[in-house]
């Protein structure tokens, strides 16, 4: 069963799309219809069981791209619009296809079959990558819709922002992580990573030094310079950080 969310501000169009989807495929379930960027951000910020999104682009409070730039959402999207000018933006976010209105049943069936083919491919690839990463001490992260395997030794730090966790590698490239910092801390404790505060988890290999900051805190100097992050060790973690640095 393909669990679908429809994002469309015109009620009649959304209802018609539901009817047509159910008519052309017996393994489709419409789990939610949303009509604005704000509604969609709220929906995808919470736990959900969505396999596929069919979304209009121009919504009353912005473009649907704003949704996927705001929340960490790895659900593939089929964008439906009357304009060709958004096609590049669509494939730079979560887009797997781009349909121009008016959309006929043949188009809908085609994109559903495309989703099924891609989901089978990425499911098998994800299983392989997870096994590969575990065995070789690597980590699977994401860049857009692509799963990427990084060597742990190449990851400078992990940080969280707006409830989304990112990894930055030694070249300054940023990736999305599916785990929170607490999970990463437990998993990477023996791999040379240290949780310096609520926001940052650092790789020991890239710590150049540290200095006193605001009397009771510490500021960390990293080996790489192409990062805008100011790393401050919290007061609570400063003593254990000093001991940890001396032991590595």
Question: pTM for this structure?
Answer: 0.53
pLDDT string in tens for the chain (248-residue length):
899 999 999 999 999 999 999 999 888 999 999 999 999 999 998 888 899 999 999 999 999 999 988 887 878 999 999 888 888 888 878 888 999 988 889 989 999 988 888 877 555 445 544 554 454 578 889 887 788 888 898 999 999 988 889 999 998 899 999 888 988 988 887 778 999 999 999 998 899 889 998 888 999 988 876 667 889 999 888 888 888 887 66
Domains, the chain: 2-125 (3.40.50.2300), 137-247 (2.40.50.1020)
Tell me if the bond preceding 102 is cis, omega within 30° of 0.
yes
Neighbours of 236 (CB within 10 A): 12
Neighbours of 145 (CB within 10 A): 16
Give the C-alpha separation, 129 to 123, whole Å.
10
């Amino acid at each position: 069963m393909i669990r679908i969310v429809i994002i469309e501000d015109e009620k009649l169009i959304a209802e018609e799309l539901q009817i047509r989807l159910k008519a052309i495929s017996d393994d489709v379930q419409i789990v939610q219809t949303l009509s604005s960027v704000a509604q969609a951000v709220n929906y995808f910020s919470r736990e959900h069981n969505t396999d596929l999104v069919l979304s209009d682009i121009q919504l009353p409070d912005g473009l649907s791209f704003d949704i996927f730039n705001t929340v960490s959402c790895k659900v593939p999207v089929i964008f439906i619009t009357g304009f060709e000018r958004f096609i590049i933006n669509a494939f730079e976010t979560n887009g797997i296809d781009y349909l121009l209105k008016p959309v006929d049943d043949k188009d809908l069936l085609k994109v559903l079959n495309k989703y099924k083919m891609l989901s089978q491919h990425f499911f098998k690839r994800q299983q392989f990558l997870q096994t590969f990463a575990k065995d070789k001490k690597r980590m699977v992260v994401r860049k857009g819709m692509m799963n990427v395997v990084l060597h742990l030794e190449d990851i400078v730090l992990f940080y969280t922002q707006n409830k989304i966790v990112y990894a930055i590698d030694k070249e300054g490239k940023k990736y999305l992580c599916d785990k929170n910092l607490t999970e990463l801390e437990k998993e990477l404790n023996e791999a040379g990573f240290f949780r310096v505060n609520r926001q940052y988890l650092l790789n020991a290999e890239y710590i150049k030094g540290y200095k006193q900051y605001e009397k009771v805190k510490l500021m960390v100097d990293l080996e790489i310079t192409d990062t805008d992050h100011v790393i401050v060790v919290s007061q609570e973690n400063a003593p254990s950080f000093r001991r940890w640095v001396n032991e590595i």
